Amino acid sequence: MQNFEFYNPTRIVFGEGRIAELNRLVPEQARVLILFGGESARRNGTLAEVEAALGERHVKHFGGIEPNPSYETLMRAVEQVRAEELDFLLAVGGGSVIDGTKFVAAAVNYSGDPWGILETGGRKITQALPFGSVLTLPATGSEMNDGSVVTRKATKTKLPFKNALVFPQFSVLDPTKTYTLPPRQVANGVVDAFVHIAEQYLTYPANAPVQDRFAEGLLTTLIELGPLALSDPKNYDVRANLMWVATLALNGLIGVGVPQDWATHMVGHEITALHGLDHAQTLAIVLPAMLQERRDAKRGKLLQYAERVWGLTNGDEEQRIDAAIVRTRDFFESLGVKTRLSDYNLGSDVVEPLVEQLKTHGMVKLGEHRDVDLATSRRVLEACL
């Protein structure tokens, strides 16, 4: 196991009815900006519950944060916070709203051009406003991590940043708030969490059996619960466990002391930025092709995955790896998430512009061995057709 430092200051307040506890979690004198997305949080009553819990506090709103939050929209929120001298942010929504709130928190007092936050991957952030979240979509893990992904619409640039100053102070996870999710978003969430685990687990053996078994437990739980969340949407226990799995998939714990990949995510970001596919749709397309392309470098872990996650013990090594990749693709498809570029009406002409974007963004040495160069990414994308 590699050396590591683990730090996660986010308080999780989990369970039905716990939004009321915002009264305890948000400072009494806070001047609050509630940030939200489209209309879902208002329509399903989450926003009303949040407002009631905040009581007499000074509260303003910023709505309209879109999926794959844009720099352009978020900068309007930054202006509002500055103009109205607000000092506490509260994200109510999915990963996009929470990620957007992280950017706003860091940008309000950032010295220099706030786009620099993305260009430097968050390394130059020296302060951030305090914020919390009320999660309505289990998927990204943003509610308990210090990462965020923002898109600049003008240039179709989707970049991540990370900084310990943008961990949420707290996140309220009320599983009943996920009952209203459309099937597409439920499935997206399962796929996103699944691929987060894969990015931290499907690398090479690192003598970290606890992280491995934790990752395998999360994967098998997703395989069990994903279909149930779709077939029995008001099942509290299913929703609750799914929500906790998605949080644990990317709160840092399973990634400590082990190599990490993230090539699938970086290639996927370019597909979203150029063609507007949902984040999870891009992952469902890229992961099977990425595993196939890099099967030799990942051999040890792919065999372990085949056996422990999918119970595949018959056949030789190549057959077991093949079967594990097929099972992975079939699982995504069974949830209704398509796994080929052609399923989204994208053809071979999209490959070269995507490779160009990877080059522009410096994504030229990806993966746990830093050997996923542009030629490798091109082969992966061609295999995604």
Which residues would be at the binding site for ligand NZQ (CB under 6 A)?
37-41, 44, 67-68, 93-97, 99, 136-137, 139-142, 145, 147-149, 177-178, 180-181, 185, 188, 192, 250, 265, 279
Q: What is d(CA 258, CA 212) in angstroms, rounded to the nearest whole number?
A: 9
Closest separation in Å from C-beta 331 to ligand NZQ: 18
161 vs 305 by CB, closer to ligand NZQ = 161
40 binds, among ligand NZQ, Zn ion, none (CB under 5 to 8 A by kind): ligand NZQ
Tokens standing for 372? 């996923």
Contact 258, 214 (CB under 8 A): no
132 vs 141 by CB, closer to ligand NZQ = 141
What burial class does residue 244 get, using C-beta atoms within 10 Å of its C-beta: 0-12 exposed, 13-18 middle, 19+ buried?
middle
Contact 122, 93 (CB under 8 A): no
Using CA atoms, how far residue 161 sits from 149, 329, 331, 345, in Å, is 6, 29, 30, 30
147 binds, among Zn ion, ligand NZQ, none (CB under 5 to 8 A by kind): ligand NZQ
Closest separation in Å from C-beta 145 to ligand NZQ: 5
Closest separation in Å from C-beta 302 to ligand NZQ: 22
Tokens standing for 215? 């990752």
Q: What is d(CA 267, CA 260) in angstroms, rounded to the nearest whole number?
A: 15
181 binds, among ligand NZQ, Zn ion, none (CB under 5 to 8 A by kind): ligand NZQ
181 vs 380 by CB, closer to ligand NZQ = 181
114 vs 122 by CB, closer to ligand NZQ = 122
Tokens standing for 12? 């999780």
133 binds, among ligand NZQ, Zn ion, none (CB under 5 to 8 A by kind): none
> Which of 18, 25, 89 shows the shortest CA–CA distance to 49?
18
309 binds, among ligand NZQ, Zn ion, none (CB under 5 to 8 A by kind): none
For residue 318, the SS3 value is helix
Closest separation in Å from C-beta 93 to ligand NZQ: 5
Span interacting with Zn ion, options 111-119, 191-199, 236-244, 350-358, rule CB under 5 A: 191-199
35 vs 86 by CB, closer to ligand NZQ = 35
Contact 150, 118 (CB under 8 A): yes
Closest separation in Å from C-beta 312 to ligand NZQ: 27
* Contact residues for 273 (Cβ-Cβ < 8 A; gap 6+): 68, 151, 156, 157, 158, 357
304 vs 344 by CB, closer to ligand NZQ = 344
10 vs 306 by CB, closer to ligand NZQ = 10
95 binds, among ligand NZQ, Zn ion, none (CB under 5 to 8 A by kind): ligand NZQ
Interface with Zn ion, residue 270, by CB under 5 A: no
94 vs 132 by CB, closer to ligand NZQ = 94
95 vs 114 by CB, closer to ligand NZQ = 95
Closest separation in Å from C-beta 318 to ligand NZQ: 30
Task: Enumerate the β-bridge partners of residue 14.
Answer: 173
| Count of residues that interact with Zn ion, criterion CB under 5 A | 1
Closest separation in Å from C-beta 183 to ligand NZQ: 11
67 binds, among Zn ion, ligand NZQ, none (CB under 5 to 8 A by kind): ligand NZQ
Q: What is d(CA 264, CA 289) in angstroms, rounded to the nearest whole number?
A: 9
Closest separation in Å from C-beta 303 to ligand NZQ: 26
Span interacting with Zn ion, options 107-115, 125-133, 188-196, 368-376, rule CB under 5 A: 188-196
- Characterize 149-182 residue by residue with b for buried, 16 or more Cβ atoms within 10 angstroms of its Cβ, and e for exposed: bbbeeeebbbbbbebeebbbbbbbbbbbbbeebe
15 binds, among Zn ion, ligand NZQ, none (CB under 5 to 8 A by kind): none
For residue 298, the SS3 value is coil
Per-position DSSP letters for 176-241, written without gaps between them: GGGTT--HHHHHHHHHHHHHHHHHHHSS---S-HHHHHHHHHHHHHHHHHHHHHHHSTT-HHHHHH
Interface with Zn ion, residue 192, by CB under 5 A: yes
Number of CB atoms found within 10 A of residue 136's CB = 27
Query: Which parts of this chain interact with Zn ion (CB under 5 A)?
Result: 192
